[in-house]
Amino acid sequence: MTSAEPKSSATSVIAGVDLGGTKIQTVVLRTEEVTGSSRVLTPQTGKPGDVIDAIVGTIRTSLEAAGASTSDLREIGIGTPGKVDADAGAVLLAANVPGFSDRVELGPLVSAQLGNTKVTVGNDVSVGVLGEYRRGAGRPYENLLGVWVGTGVGGGLILDGKLHDGRGAGGEIGHVVVKPGGRPCSCGRRGCLEAYAGRVSMERRARELVKRGHRTDLFRIMEKHGRERLSSGIYARALEKGDPMATKLIEDAAWALGIGLASAQNLLDLEAIIVGGGLGDRLGQPFVDQVVRQMTPHLFVPDNPPVVLRTELGDLGGAVGAAVLAGG
C-alpha cells in the first residue's frame, strides 16, 4: 500500500470516550473489539482546556496500547453528561464536569489536537444505553429501556432499533413520578423516581435520618474507606453487614424503580430492561431481583414481562457506546 491510498478499514480504529465528573474512560475499537483502553481522573482545576488535554491524553495512550497511531484513527465518539449540541459537537451545560458549566466546543477542540479527526458528541446515558444495545446485554432486542442508577437515575430508550429521545429530552425515567408530593428531587420537584433511587437523594435521606437519631454504619464505613460520599461500594458493604438503614434505603430504591419501570413497561411493552449505573453494577443480581419483585405486581400483562438484565459491559459501556456512536 502506498501512502497515497486512503486508510483501509482493516487497519483503522475508532476511539470512544466516556467523560465523567470524576474520571475519563477511553477505549479504542478495531473491528468492534476493544484493543486498547485508558482511564484517568478528570482534572478538577475548573479549566475546560485541562479536561480537553486529559481526553486527548487518554486517546493517545489507548492508541498506543492498541498498537495504533493517530494516523490510524478514523473517528472519535465522546459521551458527556449534560445537554449536547450534537451538530456543533458542543456541550451546553455539564454541571458535574469541572469547567463545563458554560458552553464548551468539546468536539472541535479534541479534533484540533488529533489531526482534525471527526468527533461525534452525545449524552453519556444515551451513549451508554446504545453501547449495551449494540455490544452488550441488549443485543438480542429491538425495544428496550436502559435505566442507569447512579448519582442520579438516567435512562435511554431504544424503540424499533433506534435511540428515541423525543424532542431531545426523552427517556428521563428518573423523573417519572412514583409518589406525588413525596421526597424532594434534584430537579426541584417532588416524588420522582430519582428522589428515592439516586445516590445524592439517598444520602440526603440518610443524613436526615441520622439527625433524627437513627443509627447506621454507613457514614462510619464511608470514613473508614476515605470517601466523602456514600458510594455504591459503601452501600454494598453496609448491606453485607445487615445495616438496617442501608437495607431500608435500598428497599426504597427498589420499590421506586419497580413502580417506575412497571409504568414504562405498561406504556411501551418493551422486550427488555437493562439496569446499570454505579448502584446497578455494584449491587448486581440481588438488586435486580429485588427490583423485579417490586415491579411485577404492577405489570398490566404479568404473564409476558420484560427480561430484566444487568449490563454486560459494566463501566466500559459508556466508552464502547461512544465508539459505537462514532460508527464503531
Binding site for Zn ion (CB under 5 A): 175, 185, 187, 189, 192
Q: How far apart are the first and last CA of the chain?
A: 24
Coil/strand/helix, residue 73: strand
Q: 149: phi > 0 → left, psi -120 to 50 → alpha, else beta; which?
A: beta
Smaller CB distance to Zn ion: residue 257 or 316? 257
Cα Rg, the chain, nearest whole Å: 20
Contact 13, 30 (CB under 8 A): yes
Q: Which residues contact 97 (CB under 8 A, 6 or more apart)?
A: 19, 20, 21, 42, 51, 80, 81, 82, 91
Smaller CB distance to Zn ion: residue 187 or 267? 187
CB of 194 to Zn ion, least distance (A): 5
Smaller CB distance to Zn ion: residue 127 or 192? 192
CB of 44 to Zn ion, least distance (A): 27
CB of 260 to Zn ion, least distance (A): 11
Within its chain, how far is the Cα of 139 from the centroid? 18
CB of 149 to Zn ion, least distance (A): 14
CB of 182 to Zn ion, least distance (A): 10
Smaller CB distance to Zn ion: residue 158 or 185? 185
